[in-house]
């Protein structure tokens, strides 16, 4: 197995875009080239990504970047703009299936370079559980990427139990990606703060809900990885544990300590800082930190391998983070 495995890389193949358009022209992604040469993506007449890197669909460009930056394998997943949680459940399920089949086809076409994570119609947990069984049992994917909330419901919502039961039974890999921001009004409108403040906050809310809602305690056999180094979770873990010790509200759904559930979370390496990455590894352990790039977006780390190597980790910890640990989690040969 290859040395470096990037667990956080997005993709939207052109065949998938065409298939989504056949399913519903209204929700189909439209790629529009600007006079500058850059691309944007629109859905239902609204710009949802600007710019949209062509590496999102151009596999040759992607492979060249992977080779240049010594990323041997990407665990590819869909784009957050195509979760379609707000759509009617039947259409959401169809759109999820299309994307999952597209990723499975890509993995089959490029053995050794790509592994796959799918997406689920989380607005219908029963269908989502069925699709999770299908993509792991039939399509050969390793799990799914899900949003940090489902139509403004936190991930500890009791209605989502079928998804967690299936993920636990399948020992699935779950990548939790921030999706929207819950801060009201326009306080994050300036300076691109909706991304670099709002998204880590979303991830923090998701992680806290999974911990204090008892989800990680009840379903310990699934692997849950928080994107963007966990938002603020690893850096406020002491405050979380303190709340778990002194506040009855924080203990409501837990029979074990909050520290134990926090210890079940995994984190990607996207910290944008060698010192912060070293702190993360020292705080949670190299077994809980997995290489990630957020490829191909500008707020990601295309040079993710070099950033891990620059963090001052021991050789053993570096090897775990770059791919050794995820190889164990995915049970790769």
Banded model confidence at residue 14, pLDDT cuts 50, 70, 90 = very high
In this predicted structure, the answer to whether residue 165 has a pLDDT above a threshold of 70 is: yes
Dump pLDDT digits (tens) for 25-57.
Answer: 999 999 999 999 999 999 999 999 999 999 999
CATH number at residue 48: 3.20.20.140
Model pLDDT, residue 2: 52
Calpha distance 169→315 (Å, rounded): 34
Q: Which domain holds residue 55?
A: 5-329
Least confident of 149-163, 180-194, 228-242: 180-194
For range 223-250, the mean pLDDT: 97
* β-sheet bridge partners, residue 173: 143, 223
Model pLDDT, residue 291: 98
Calpha distance 226→232 (Å, rounded): 10
In this predicted structure, the answer to whether residue 328 has a pLDDT above a threshold of 60 is: yes
Banded model confidence at residue 218, pLDDT cuts 50, 70, 90 = very high
The count of structural domains within the chain is: 1
Model pLDDT, residue 186: 82
Model pLDDT, residue 210: 98
Model pLDDT, residue 1: 40
For range 91-115, the mean pLDDT: 98
The full 3-state SS of the chain, as one line of letters, equals CCCCEEEEEECCCHHHHHHHHHHCCCCCEEEEECCCCCEEEEECCEEEECCCCHHHCCHHHHHHHHHHCCCCEEEEECCHHHCCCCCCHHHHHHHHHHHHHHHHHHHHHCCCCEEECECCCCCCHHHHHHHHHHHHHCCCCCEEEEECCECCECCCCHHHHHHHHHHHHHCCEEEEECCCCCCCCCCCCHHHHHHHCHHHHHHHHHHHHHHHCCHHHHCCCCEEEECHHHCCCCCCHHHHHHHHHHCHHHHCCCCCCHHHHHCCEEEECCCCCHHHHHHHHHHHCHHHEECCCCECCCCCCCCHHHHHHCCCCCHHHHHHHHHHHHHHHCCCC
In this predicted structure, the answer to whether residue 184 has a pLDDT above a threshold of 90 is: no
The pair of three-digit structure tokens given for residue 320, joined into one six-digit string: 């775990």
Model pLDDT, residue 154: 97
In this predicted structure, the answer to whether residue 183 has a pLDDT above a threshold of 80 is: no
Q: Which of 121, 79, 124, 128 is nearest to 102 (CA)?
A: 79
Q: Report percent pLDDT > 90 for the chain.
A: 96
User: Tokens 């399509």 appear where?
Assistant: 139
The pair of three-digit structure tokens given for residue 39, joined into one six-digit string: 């691309």
Model pLDDT, residue 182: 67
Question: Across the chain, what does the average pLDDT equal?
Answer: 96
Dump pLDDT digits (tens) for 55-84.
Answer: 999 999 999 999 999 999 999 999 999 999
């Amino acid at each position: 197995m290859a040395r470096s495995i990037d667990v956080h890389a997005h993709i939207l193949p052109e065949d998938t875009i065409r298939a989504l358009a056949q399913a519903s022209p209204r929700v189909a992604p439209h790629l529009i080239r600007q006079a500058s040469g850059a691309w944007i993506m629109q859905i239902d007449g609204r710009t949802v990504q600007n710019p949209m890197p062509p590496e999102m669909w151009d596999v040759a460009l992607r492979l060249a970047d992977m080779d240049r930056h010594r990323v041997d394998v990407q665990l590819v997943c869909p784009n957050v703009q195509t979760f379609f949680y707000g759509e009617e459940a039947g259409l959401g399920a169809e759109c999820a299936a299309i994307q999952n089949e597209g990723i499975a086809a890509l993995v089959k076409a490029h053995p050794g370079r790509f592994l796959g994570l799918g997406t689920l119609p989380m607005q219908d947990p029963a269908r989502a559980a069925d699709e999770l069984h299908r993509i792991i049992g039939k399509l050969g994917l390793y799990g799914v990427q899900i949003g940090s909330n489902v139509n403004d419901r936190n991930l500890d919502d009791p209605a989502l139990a079928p998804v967690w039961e299936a993920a636990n039974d399948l020992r699935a890999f779950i990548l939790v990606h921030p999706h929207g921001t819950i801060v009201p009004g326009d306080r994050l409108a300036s300076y691109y703060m909706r991304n670099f403040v709002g998204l880590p906050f979303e991830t923090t809310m998701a992680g806290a809900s999974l911990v204090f809602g008892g989800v990680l305690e009840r379903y310990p056999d699934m692997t849950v990885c928080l994107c963007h180094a966990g938002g603020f979770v690893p850096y406020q873990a002491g405050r979380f544990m303190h709340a778990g010790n002194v506040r009855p509200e924080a203990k409501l759904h837990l029979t074990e300590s909050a520290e134990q559930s926090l210890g079940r979370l995994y984190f990607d390496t996207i910290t944008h800082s060698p010192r912060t990455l070293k702190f993360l590894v020292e705080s949670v352990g190299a077994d809980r930190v997995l290489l990630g790039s957020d490829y191909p977006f500008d707020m990601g780390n295309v040079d993710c391998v070099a950033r891990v190597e620059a963090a001052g980790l021991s050789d053993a910890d570096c090897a775990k983070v770059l791919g050794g640990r995820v190889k164990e989690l995915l049970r790769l040969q």
